[in-house]
Structure 1
Amino acid sequence: MRFRHRAAAGFATLALPLAGLVGLAGPAQAATSATATYTKASDWGSGFEGRWTVKNTGTTSLSSWTVEWDFPAGTKVTSAWDATVTNSGDHWTAKNVGWNGTLAPGASVTFGFNGSGTGSPTGCKLNGGSCDGTSVPGDAAPSAPGTPTASSVTDTSVKLSWSAATDDKGVKNYDVLRDGAKVATVTGTTYTDSGLTAGTDYSYAVQARDTADQTGPASGSVKVRTTGGGTDPGPQPGAKVKLGYFTEWGVYGRNYHVKNLVTSGTAPKITHINYSFGNVKNGKCTVDDTFAAYEKTYTADQSVSGTADTWDQPLRGNFNQLRQLKAKYPHIKVLYSFGGWTYSGGFGQAAANPAAFAASCKQVVEDPRWADVFDGIDIDWEYPNACGLTCDTSGPAAFANLSKALRAEFGKDYLVTAAITADASSGGKIDAADYGGASQYLDWYNVMTYDYFGAWDKTGPTAPHSPLTSYDGIPNPAFNSAAAIAKLKAKGVPASKLLLGIGFYGRGWTGVTQSAPGGTATGPAPGTYEAGIEDYKVLKTSCPATGTVAGTAYAHCGSNWWSYDTPATIGSKMAWAKNQGLGGAFFWEFSGDTANGELVTAIDGGLK
């Protein structure tokens, strides 16, 4: 995806020194040493936001943590997140929640709270010892049990079995986690979960608890779908994919949330969602904006389920809203998309060790807190062995090697897809990587058949950014959807693995006097978030289409010239996609559509 709007989330953190109160991390004194440090993230006079960071500075895993401190009279915690906070008078205690108690050596976790008053914490204790890392009581935590296996699956139940964990003082029992929440504690290594819903997806993991009641790391996750229910787990053979990108940062300035997919009538008309974007750092997948992804609290009227989030629930944010959406519309599959225009610079390092990259991605996708949310992974590398925001030189085989490693790691039960270039020019970006060879490992390609032309060429000529075909006067005859699809087919990519890309936005110039394409310009036209680009929902009324060229609409209003897709042009493109035998279509991105989802409706109707 060429563009990426992002609003800042949260506040700037100001670390305040607390001499004699909370020590900074020092050298480990024991195998189980750890530190707790405090910062005041913001202060608004009548209140403040405080944050504690617990770091394991030892050499063995820490299985749980409890931070204690004292506030002076008149200062107190009013709400907290990512920890269970209680008090006895002015003495405050914060304990880890189920998913963040285990800290590997060198790992850290941060929890926060809102407070009232002006005091600072004193007398910090971590697990009953000093907060400076010199004394943290406790023995080693249990190991992770084996990944559960599922058997005897019925409409309403499933039997789970796993191999035992180990512990230096003995394992007492196991917590069984369904979709990240504990549903049972058992002494053996089997459990039958009942009372389930027919035709529904669930994810299970287990974690051991030792005789000191310490919990170890969670096992790997197993996905289970109960029988019956009449709900197909995915599109039937031959059915078309209708996929949209949901942007993580859209919850800020755009004020677009998962619930909008319901209120717009969009949810019943799509088959897949790409949640974008996870980051690629140090050759590994990672969550980008944790606040938007799993910390943001939704009120009852904002949430898909109509139930308000609570501060202490294990999962909030977009991930929890997607979970609720899937419960309401079980046919929808969600993929976690990593990279994009901004974050593709990390793929070169990932390509140097594809197996490690794939393992890191699966660890993110299968995190026990949200393992039930994601049905696969999408890689948006812009561009392998070519230039995007940065230039990659990992070689023509790198993309295929990365795709092979992802399929080996995720297996046949997960979707593995990729968004790829649509540059069909000779020696261009399609020629730079082995997209034909890689396609055997992938379920489909999202071919980005848009952003061919735009006001990065400030003086023009004006041209549609998403032409379906070439036309007389096109600035580059190889920059069109038909040419890209034909080239990918010629490289051996099956038509059924190609999705046609649609932009829910327009690109435009200003200083244009000519209505027809090919006019000169003076620069990018004004846009709500960025010059030269605007949502369809705005353009349909601010600058209505005045003509079409190469299957795409264009508009000349005043001195501005825009090109964008309308319901009519989308209908024609969907007919073309079906005639070509393509697997379906995808679009960037949901928030550009109207409040009643008219562009999604056109895709849905055109692919039936």
Structure 2
Amino acid sequence: MRVVPVLVAMIMLLAGCSAPEAPAPKASPKVAAPEPRVVAYFTDWGDFPVRKVDTSGAAGRLTHLVYAFGKVSGGGCTPGDAWADFQKPITAADSVDGAADTPGQGLLGNFGQLRKLKQRHPQLRVLWSFGGWTGSGDFTEAAKDPAAFARSCAALLRDPRWAGLFDGIDVDWEYPNACGLTCDHSGRDALTGLLSALRAELGPDTLVTAAVPADRDKLAATDYAAASRAATWLSAMTYDFFGTGDTPGPTAPHSPLTAYPGIPRETATTDAAIRELIGLGVPRDKVLLGVGFYGRGWSGVTTAAPGGRASGAAAGSREKGIEDYDVLRSACPPTGTAGGTAYALCHGQWWSYDTPETIKTKMAYARSTGLAGAFAWELSGDTPDAQLVTAMADGLAG
């Protein structure tokens, strides 16, 4: 027979006994806020070896490095540049540990160096990014069979030659159901299909991320809220709002944080893009703010403030209208700021770019907005002592 608790208490009181005290409620353990993500892309081209990620100090400040790019071909994932990725012997001068690669001795190329980098920096997680501006055309084919795409990507990440090197995959589709270098018409759910298939194939602990546009029309073309449910985070490409090309201006900073008087389009700002993503239903703790480690510039300019006229794009080290921060900081130092980013007028050229100071302002914005962190395109534009990555890490730490 079951005796109800009230009757037990009455019997104990009549017998001169005290009723047992109810146990004190346990305090809920405090859940620490997740560590801000400090992310940067590393490209497989150019003259910036993996070793410099270590010697600059960037590897010690980054939480994630994204290796760009693998290709999407035939609806599946394939290496982007096999020679640079895992076939090229690395000299002692360019090696993370100072030891030259010997053909046949193990994993070569950038992958071998990334493995050494992770051994030196156990906190660093590495993702392999697929697509990019010139490599997004075949995502349309991949979207027809997301499960097959995911299987091919998983098999590539688990290839025995570099198994365990990559902690996840990044999808840089420019742009789903919209136009980039080519146009896609796969529908609003195409990106969600790919990310969901990757999540199902790779499991809950593997990183699955995507680079996403900052343009309002492109954001409206895809269900980014649904896509975010399968993703670890979405990286908002909040730069290149205003380019140069061969246009006569008006000059405008390519990555303003906020609008400023005279801005050509008030919605072409980092803040507007972030608010748009959140307004579409993407959780703010799944959004990374993007910064560029480069500037965009015009030539034939005489007006220091934004809004001046130009004769065309300024000369750059590798292409017209674009230059690394490491070059610009001394070649054309800032002469002012607009919208939370820097600009400079020198020798008839007008450049806009982020500095350590403006990056810290953007990181404060990311913190106050509750974002997951920030990412940079890309590491070769930073200084030899990683001033921009340091500004990101320090700014996100508060």
Fold equivalence (TM over 0.5): yes
Check whether the contact 2:245–2:320 (CA below 8 A) recurs between aligned residues: no
Check whether the contact 2:246–2:311 (CA below 8 A) recurs between aligned residues: no
Q: How does 1:144-155 map to 2 (within 5 A)?
A: none
Corresponding position of 2:381: 592
2:220 to 431, 440, 443: 431
Corresponding position of 2:338: 549
Corresponding position of 2:286: 497
Confirm or deny that 1:530 pairs with 2:324.
no
Q: CA deviation at 1:307?
A: 2.1
Residue deviations 1:280-308 (CA, integer Å, cap 9, x gap): 11111100111100011122332112222
RCO higher in 1 or 2 (8 Å CA, sep ≥ 6)? 2
Residue deviations 1:189-236 (CA, integer Å, cap 9, x gap): xxxxxxxxxxxxxxxxxxxxxxxxxxxxxxxxxxxxxxxxxxxxxxx7
Q: CA deviation at 1:492?
A: 1.1
Q: Which residue identity does 2:88 align to in structure 1? A: K
Corresponding position of 1:447: 236
1:582 is paired with a residue whose SS is coil
Q: CA deviation at 1:457?
A: 5.8
Q: CA deviation at 1:397?
A: 1.2
2:264 to 475, 482, 499: 475
Q: How does 1:156-175 map to 2 (within 5 A)?
A: none
Q: Tell me, in whole angstroms, the C-alpha distance in 1 between the residues paired with 2:94 and 2:317.
A: 24
The range that moved more, 526-535 or 403-412, is 403-412
Q: Tell me, in whole angstroms, the C-alpha distance in 2 between the residues paired with 1:575 and 1:586.
A: 14
2:130 is paired with a residue whose SS is strand
Confirm or deny that 1:319 pairs with 2:117.
no
Corresponding position of 2:37: 241
Q: Which residue identity does 1:247 align to in structure 2? A: T
Q: How does 1:177-188 map to 2 (within 5 A)?
A: none
Could you list the runs of 4 or more consecutive aligned residues of structure 1 that deviate by over 4 angstroms after TM superposition?
Answer: none
Q: Which residue identity does 2:196 align to in structure 1? A: K
Corresponding position of 1:80: none
1:572 to 342, 361, 369: 361
Check whether the contact 2:63–2:124 (CA below 8 A) recurs between aligned residues: yes
Q: Tell me, in whole angstroms, the C-alpha distance in 2 between the residues paired with 1:308 and 1:563.
A: 40
Confirm or deny that 1:299 pairs with 2:91.
yes
Corresponding position of 2:370: 581
CA distance change for structure 1 residues 457 and 387 in 2, over 3 Å: closer, same or farther? farther
Q: Which residue identity does 1:241 align to in structure 2? A: R
Q: CA deviation at 1:248?
A: 0.5
Q: CA deviation at 1:441?
A: 0.2
| CA RMSD, Structure 1 to Structure 2 (Å) | 1.0
Q: How does 1:339-350 map to 2 (within 5 A)?
A: 339-350=131-142
Corresponding position of 2:352: 563
Confirm or deny that 1:385 pairs with 2:177.
yes
Q: Tell me, in whole angstroms, the C-alpha distance in 1 between the residues paired with 2:378 and 2:347.
A: 27
Q: How does 1:71-150 map to 2 (within 5 A)?
A: none
Q: Tell me, in whole angstroms, the C-alpha distance in 1 between the residues paired with 2:129 and 2:222.
A: 20
Corresponding position of 1:333: 125
Confirm or deny that 1:353 pairs with 2:149.
no
Judging by fraction of residues, say which structure has more helix.
Answer: 2
Aligned pairs, number:
366
Q: How does 1:364-403 map to 2 (within 5 A)?
A: 364-403=156-195
Residue deviations 1:525-553 (CA, integer Å, cap 9, x gap): 00000000000000000000000000000
Q: Which residue identity does 1:563 align to in structure 2? A: S
1:258 to 45, 50, 54: 50
1:337 is paired with a residue whose SS is strand
Q: Which residue identity does 2:43 align to in structure 1? A: T
CA distance change for structure 1 residues 500 and 445 in 2, over 3 Å: closer, same or farther? same
Q: Percent identity?
A: 57
Q: Which residue identity does 2:366 align to in structure 1? A: A
Corresponding position of 1:276: 68
When normalised by structure 1's length, the TM-score is: 0.60
Corresponding position of 2:211: 419
1:534 is paired with a residue whose SS is strand
Q: Which has the larger radius of gyration?
A: 1
Q: Tell me, in whole angstroms, the C-alpha distance in 2 between the residues paired with 1:455 and 1:269.
A: 32
In structure 2, stretches of 5+ residues that fail to align are 1-31
Q: Tell me, in whole angstroms, the C-alpha distance in 2 between the residues paired with 1:389 and 1:313.
A: 40
When normalised by structure 2's length, the TM-score is: 0.91
Q: Which residue identity does 1:378 align to in structure 2? A: D
Q: Which residue identity does 1:238 align to in structure 2? A: P
2:376 is paired with a residue whose SS is strand
Q: Tell me, in whole angstroms, the C-alpha distance in 2 between the residues paired with 1:360 and 1:402.
A: 12
1:372 is paired with a residue whose SS is coil
Q: CA deviation at 1:565?
A: 0.2
Q: Which residue identity does 2:34 align to in structure 1? A: G
Corresponding position of 1:145: none
1:574 is paired with a residue whose SS is helix
Q: Tell me, in whole angstroms, the C-alpha distance in 2 between the residues paired with 1:397 and 1:310.
A: 47
Q: Tell me, in whole angstroms, the C-alpha distance in 1 between the residues paired with 2:33 and 2:338.
A: 34
Q: Tell me, in whole angstroms, the C-alpha distance in 2 between the residues paired with 1:493 and 1:239.
A: 19
